[in-house]
Structure formats: C-alpha cells, structure tokens
Amino acid sequence: MSPQVEAGATTLAGDAQPGVVTRAKARLTSLGEMARMTGQVFSRAVRPPFNGSALVYHIESLGVRSMPITLLTAMFAGLVISLQFGYFLARFGVQYTVGRVVVLTLFRELSPVLTALTVGARLGSGMAAELGAMTVTEQVDAIRALGADPLRKLVVPRVLASLVVMPVLTVFADVVGLVSGAVVVKVQYAISFDQFFQGALDSVLMGDFVSGVFKGGVFGLLIGLVGCYKGLTVEGGTEGVGRATTQTVAITSVAVCLADFFITKVTLYL
C-alpha cells in the first residue's frame, strides 16, 4: 500500500473483537506508518514548491492564538515555583538564591514541558479534528483526486508551523515565568528584583536556555506529527473524529514526557 493511501484511506471493519496480538500489531503498524509519514513530511518540506502563505497562516493560527494560554500557564508556574523554592530555601537561610533555582527550573524544564502539555493538547487535538473532519467527508481524497498531495498541502505547513511556534512560545513562557517569579518573591520574601535577576543571570548558561528551546522544537514536531497522523487516519465517521482528538491529547502528553526524559538525559552530558 502506498504511503498516500495509508494516510488517507478509509478501511472497513476487520475483526469484531481484536485480541492482544492484533492490537499490538496495529500499534506497531501505526508507529511504522507515522515514522514513514515523518520521512515523507521532511522530504517534501525541503523540496519545492514551498507553500509559504499556508505556513504563515498556520503559524498565526497556532501561535498567536495560543499565546494567552501559554502566558497564563507560565505566569502561574513562575508564581508557584518561586513561592515553593523561596519557602524551602528560607529554611536554610539562603532564600536570596531563589532566582538561580527558579531560572534553571523554568528554562530547562517547566517552560517547555508545561507549554507542550497545555498548548500542545490544543494544537494537536485541533489538527486531528480538522484533518479528521476532512478525511471523513472525503476532502482528503478529493485533494488527491484533483492532482494534489495531501501531505504537502495539509501536513507539511502544520508540522512546520508547530515546529516554529513551540520554541517561540517556550521563550515567551521563560520570560513571563521569570518575571512573575520575581514579583512574588519580592512581595513574599522581600528579595529585590536586582538580587533576583542577578542571581538568575549568574547561574544560567546559554546551554540551559537552548536546551529548553530545543525541547520546545522537538515537542512541537511530535505534536504536529501525531495530530496530523491521527487526523488523516480517522475511521468511523464523526465518532472516529472525536476518538482521534482524545487519542491525540493522550499520545502527545505521553510522547512529550518520554521525549523530555531522553532529551534531558542527553543535554545534561553535552
């Protein structure tokens, strides 16, 4: 079967009650298909014709509209970890180091992961729902029948947009989290902004910042690929679309946590 067919085909019911082996096989097949789709997306992304306007549209649609939830999440994350660290560091009389701890926690871990879990769920499920609806109404088949390539038209701009948007949102989350943290420790523990930010700047390295941004990019890629794959392989009408969106949220959450562990492991030794 061609990858195109795999991406857009609607299959009829197979076994009524699939066993464990059948389900395991189906999962492995899905993984293989997704890996192949990833390769196809990259090969199309680097070969003309490029669809710049679709990319800009999706960056605007995914990025700008995700900004409020990103900033809100980052603000509360900054507030909470600053409160917590301030409280526990005060026990040892070193509460003035709170800026150092907060910046590392935010830059390396909390900003990329929280952004991916909150915004990623929104982006991935949105893609799955949109492409799923197009699949069940035969619009994806129509794209192919009219001589176009659904991967190039639908998947490449979404995946690239997600890849671009997530690191940018991560940087915004870093800044907002840090500023909100500075505010709360000033109010709660009377630590000045100067002291907070000086501590933060002294301890943070460029590698800490880059590793968080890199994580954002990887998470964006995962979110885009899972959302598009689940959308293009929807089966079972509108019920299937609902199933695909919830599965996308679950899969992207697990994938983000898994990827986070391995990227952290690698970047700590770089």
Partner 1 sequence: MSFVRHHEKRAPGFEFHRPYPGEQLIHFEHLRKAFGAKRVYDDLELDVRAGETLVVLGGSGTGKSVLLRCLIGLQRPDAGRVLFQGADVTAFTEEQFMEVRRHVAMVFQGAALFDSLSVGENVAYPLLEHFPDMPPDEVRQRVAQKLELVSLPGTEHLMPADLSGGMKKRVGLARAIATDPEVILWDEPTTGLDPVTTQSINAMINSMKTKLGCTSIVVTHDLVSAFEVGDRMAMLADRRIVQVGTPDAFRRSTVPEVRAFLDARRAELVADGGTR
- In the bound state with partner 1, the residue whose beta carbon lies nearer, of 54 and 79, is 54
- In the bound state with partner 1, the residue whose beta carbon lies nearer, of 10 and 247, is 10
Candidates 30, 12, 72, 3; CA nearest to 251 is: 30
The DSSP output letter for 12 is: -
- In the bound state with partner 1, the residue whose beta carbon lies nearer, of 8 and 167, is 8
Cα-atom radius of gyration of the chain, to the nearest Å?
A: 21
Q: How far is the CB of 188 from partner 1 (least distance, A)?
A: 49
Q: How far is the CB of 106 from partner 1 (least distance, A)?
A: 38
Residue 118 to residue 150: CA distance in whole angstroms: 28
- In the bound state with partner 1, the residue whose beta carbon lies nearer, of 13 and 270, is 13
Residues of the shown chain interacting with partner 1 in the complex, contacts defined by CB under 8 A: 1-5, 8-9, 11-15, 49, 134, 137-139, 141-149
Q: How far is the CB of 153 from partner 1 (least distance, A)?
A: 9
Q: How far is the CB of 64 from partner 1 (least distance, A)?
A: 18
Instruction: Describe the crossing of helices 206-232 and 111-136 by its angle, rounded to 10 degrees.
Output: 20
Structural contact between residues 44 and 157, judged by C-beta atoms closer than 8 angstroms: no
What ranges in the chain are assigned the alpha helix state H? 3-8, 20-45, 52-63, 67-91, 98-105, 111-136, 139-145, 150, 156-189, 193-203, 206-232, 237-268
Residue 113 to residue 212: CA distance in whole angstroms: 9
Residue 6 to residue 245: CA distance in whole angstroms: 19
Q: What is the largest CA-CA distance in the chain?
A: 70
- In the bound state with partner 1, the residue whose beta carbon lies nearer, of 48 and 93, is 48
- In the bound state with partner 1, the residue whose beta carbon lies nearer, of 78 and 227, is 227
Q: How far is the CB of 144 from partner 1 (least distance, A)?
A: 6
Q: How far is the CB of 107 from partner 1 (least distance, A)?
A: 38
